């Protein structure tokens, strides 16, 4: 059975999802997240002509609301005289909004006035009259059946999305689920009328609890937890919950720590000897597939085998690293159309299993596969890592020769434009040696400016760190 392993002993709770003995997902709950799905009574701070509104939810960064007249229909009213829809909200007004994308780095949370509540079998769309069926249900007979059930159960001034879980479920059970969602919605709206903004009026629960609910709706999992209080809490909500009492740390016992470290590496090796390289940027994720050490019977077989293995590993890594936005996959070039179709079909089947929506855009003219994945939370590397103080997250630092050239320019400027004629340069050995040069070229500077340069080697991990102390030699000698 697949496992959900929860470590609740450290400062922040960590949850590992293990499927087929491989780490598939990591969820970290620091208790500070603005969770997608939470509902707030916020205050409108500013409305821009470009159809954006900034909403104060009570956090350091304002959330933003895209005022799309198709999506945010409740915020527009038709003006008969002007024959167009006009915005009904204004700056300083309170508004009920729901978080649809959490705050990431410099970007505030994204919110919507279109409230939706997710149940076991359906999603209630408040203020909308549409009925939609999960795209994962492709049987036309079943889709029509669920559409008819939704029509019969549709609450006033609400729409519905019938979830994949509603398939083959009795109408009464679905109706009860929808009724509970509608009652919850009425309580939220009533609460929002009497509370001052900015305040949270509905919490979806912890990120761990929300993830377990999503996972256990589709499959059975064994939930293992190492905290007695958490164990008792989760036992009341979920099945197959077990308490872990061993002295060995739970993540170490289940080999989770090592798998997390691998998930932060750029290169991932495949069983055949091929490998994939994953490069993450703010707006784009690029995955490159390589044959590496894999040598098959012939070139075509090598390419197909490597691409097939890569497809499985890529989908796992996308979920594990929580990659989102545009994802470009550069598979090894396949000359035969049937080979390309075969790999595309494998990829299409695999991405359906992700609990977060993935759309396959298709192949570009250059043979690059395009995917888009909905952004819900920070990628794993942003949750577990911080920017390098030496390179500020660029991944590269200036070499000692560039730093030496920069120092040379500064020192020459000091000698030429100030009264100082002696310099003490403090830096690491590599930078000082680069500055001196193989033939001690720095003495040419001393000769040109009739000045003196002294050196002080310091121990530092930062290659770009240096100090320049300026002195007047005539005063120093006295």
Domain count, the chain: 4
DSSP 161-180: EE-GGGTT--HHHHHHHHHH
pLDDT value at residue 463 = 82
Structural domain includes residue 389: no
Cis? peptide before 198, omega within 30° of 0 = yes
Angle ∠(324,325,331) on CA atoms, nearest 5? 85
Same domain, 111 and 148: yes
Residue 197, CA distances (Å) to 212, 308, 391 in order = 31, 52, 41
Per-residue pLDDT tens over the stretch 143-188: 999 999 989 988 888 899 998 888 888 889 999 999 999 999 999 9
- Does residue 458 carry a pLDDT above 60? yes
- Per-residue pLDDT, averaged over 457-472, amounts to 89
The label of the residue with tokens 């994720």 reads 285
pLDDT at res. 478 = 37
Mean pLDDT of 346-362: 89
Q: Is the pLDDT of residue 408 over 90?
A: yes
What is the DSSP annotation of 5-41? EEE-SSSSEEEEEEETTEEEEEEEE-S----TT-EEE
Q: Are 198 and 226 in a shared domain?
A: no
Q: For position 51, what pLDDT does the model report? A: 83
Whether residues 48 and 183 fall in one domain: yes
Report residue 30's pLDDT band, with 50, 70 and 90 as the boundaries. confident
Q: Which residue, 384, 409, 433, sits at the end of a domain?
A: 384
SS3 204: coil
CA 98 → CA 71, 110, 112, 438, distances in Å? 13, 8, 5, 64
For the stretch 268-325, pLDDT in tens is: 999 989 999 999 887 799 999 998 887 767 888 889 999 999 999 999 999 999 998 8
The span from the CA of 324 to the CA of 288, in Å, is 17
Q: Check residue 164 and give its pLDDT.
A: 83
Tens of pLDDT, residue by residue over 186-225, are 999 888 888 888 999 988 878 888 888 888 877 889 999 9
Is residue 477 predicted with pLDDT exceeding 50?
no
Tell whether 140 and 174 lie within a shared domain. Answer: yes
> What is the predicted pLDDT for the residue at 69?
63
Assigned domain for 393 exists = no
476 confidence band (pLDDT: 50, 70, 90): very low
Q: Is the pTM of this model over 0.85?
A: no
Provide the pLDDT for residue 101.
82
Same domain, 198 and 210: no
pLDDT in tens, 107-126: 788 899 989 998 888 999 98
pLDDT above 80 for 103: no
Indicate whether 244 belongs to any domain. Answer: yes
For residue 5, pLDDT beyond 50: yes
Task: Give the residue from 309, 304, 300 showing the smallest Cα distance to 268.
Answer: 309
Considering the domain boundaries, does residue 274 fall inside one?
yes
> For 32-77, how does the pLDDT look when each residue is reduced to its tens digit (9 = 90+)?
666 778 899 999 999 988 788 999 998 888 998 998 767 787 888 8
* CATH number of the CATH domain containing 234: 3.30.420
pLDDT digits (tens, 9 = 90+) for 355-404: 888 988 888 777 799 999 988 778 888 888 887 777 777 777 888 999 99
CATH number of the structural domain spanning residue 472: 3.40.1260.20
> Domain residues for 130?
39-202
Phi, psi of 222 (to 5 degrees): -95, 120
CB contact at 8 A, 295 and 3: no
């Amino acid at each position: 059975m697949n496992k959900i392993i929860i470590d609740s002993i450290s400062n922040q709770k960590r949850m590992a999802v293990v499927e087929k003995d491989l780490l598939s997902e990591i969820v970290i709950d620091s208790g500070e997240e603005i969770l997608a799905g939470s509902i707030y009574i916020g205050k409108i701070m500013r409305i821009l002509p470009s159809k954006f509104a900034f909403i104060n939810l009570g956090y350091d960064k304002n959330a933003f609301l895209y005022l799309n007249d198709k999506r945010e229909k409740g915020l527009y009213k038709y003006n008969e005289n002007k024959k167009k829809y006009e915005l009904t909200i204004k700056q300083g007004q309170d508004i009920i909004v729901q978080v649809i994308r959490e705050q990431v780095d410099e970007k505030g949370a994204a919110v919507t006035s279109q409230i939706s509540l997710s149940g076991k079998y359906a999603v209630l769309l408040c203020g909308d009259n549409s009925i939609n069926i999960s795209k994962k249900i492709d049987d036309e007979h079943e889709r029509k059946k669920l559409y008819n059930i939704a029509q019969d159960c549709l609450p006033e001034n609400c729409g519905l999305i019938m979830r994949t879980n509603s398939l083959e479920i009795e109408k009464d059970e679905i109706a009860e689920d929808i009724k509970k969602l509608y009652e919850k919605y009425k309580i939220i709206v009533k609460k929002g009328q009497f509370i001052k903004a900015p305040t949270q009026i509905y919490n979806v629960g912890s990120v761990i609890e929300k993830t377990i609910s999503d996972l256990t709706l589709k499959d059975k999992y064994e939930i293992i937890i190492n905290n007695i209080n958490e164990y008792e809490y989760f036992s009341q909500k979920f099945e197959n919950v077990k308490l872990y009492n061993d002295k060995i740390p739970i993540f170490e016992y289940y080999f989770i720590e090592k798998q997390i470290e691998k998930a932060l590496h750029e290169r991932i090796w495949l069983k055949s000897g091929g490998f994939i390289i994953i490069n993450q940027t703010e707006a784009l994720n690029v995955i490159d597939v390589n044959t590496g050490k894999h040598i098959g019977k012939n070139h075509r077989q090598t390419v197909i085998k490597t691409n097939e293995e890569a497809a499985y590993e890529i989908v796992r890594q996308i979920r594990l690293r929580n990659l989102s936005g545009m994802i470009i996959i550069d598979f090894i070039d396949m000359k035969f159309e049937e080979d390309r179709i075969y790999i595309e079909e494998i990829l299409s089947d695999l991405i359906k299993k992700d609990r977060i929506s993935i759309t396959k855009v298709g192949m570009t003219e250059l043979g690059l596969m395009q995917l888009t994945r909905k952004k819900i939370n920070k990628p794993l590397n942003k949750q577990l890592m911080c920017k390098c103080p030496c390179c500020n997250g660029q991944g590269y630092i200036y070499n000692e020769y560039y730093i030496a050239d920069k120092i040379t320019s500064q020192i020459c400027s000091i000698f030429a434009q100030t009264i100082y004629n002696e310099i003490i340069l403090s830096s690491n050995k590599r930078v000082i040696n680069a500055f001196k040069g193989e033939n001690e070229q720095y003495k040419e500077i001393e000769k040109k400016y009739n000045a003196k340069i002294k050196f002080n080697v310091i121990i530092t991990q930062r290659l770009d760190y240096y100090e320049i102390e300026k002195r007047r030699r005539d005063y120093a000698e006295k």
